[in-house]
Amino acid sequence: MGWEVVLCVLLGVVLVATATTLIGLTRVTSAPLPALDRSPRTGTVTSIHTSDETEIVMVEYVDPAGERHTAGLADLVHDSWIDRFVPGSRWQVYAFREPGPRVFLAEAHDDVVRRGYNLDGVRLGGESGPVHPPRPGNLLLKWRFEE
């Protein structure tokens, strides 16, 4: 077998693997997010976790069964607002019905400017993106959620 044939076979394998991966990721990221409990909960900021220049505001909240959970805000708070999210400050949040790694700021805080979102661990190991230009309001609450 000549090198041209080997190269064509190798290229074909790489293309098929890439297409399969992209189709799988598209299916996962176009699926609805898990069911959201739209009852606002009081989330208390515990810390701000910084990783790869991304600041995740960590909050503790109590679920309807009275259990405490810690989760990161899916909303990436803009630099002009981050100093208001100090440990001990309280914010209204929505959590998934089944507690997960992220919560969302409730509409009561639509004045908070967001620069992006981070849904790491909700549907994929890593799922985040910017909001251009940064703006107030929660775009994530307009996404599809399971019933």
By percentage, how much of the chain surpasses pLDDT 90?
57
Q: Per residue in 31-71, pLDDT tens?
A: 889 899 999 999 999 999 987 778 999 999 999 999 999 99
CB atoms within 10 A of CB 86: 11
d(CA 77, CA 73): 9
Give, in order, the Cα–Cα distances in Å from 137 to each of 13, 65, 66, 107, 110.
44, 29, 29, 7, 4
128: pLDDT confidence band, cut at 50, 70 and 90? confident
Identify the CATH number of the domain defined by range 36-139.
2.40.50
46 in Cβ contact with 31 (< 8 Å): no
Q: Is the pTM of this model over 0.85?
A: no
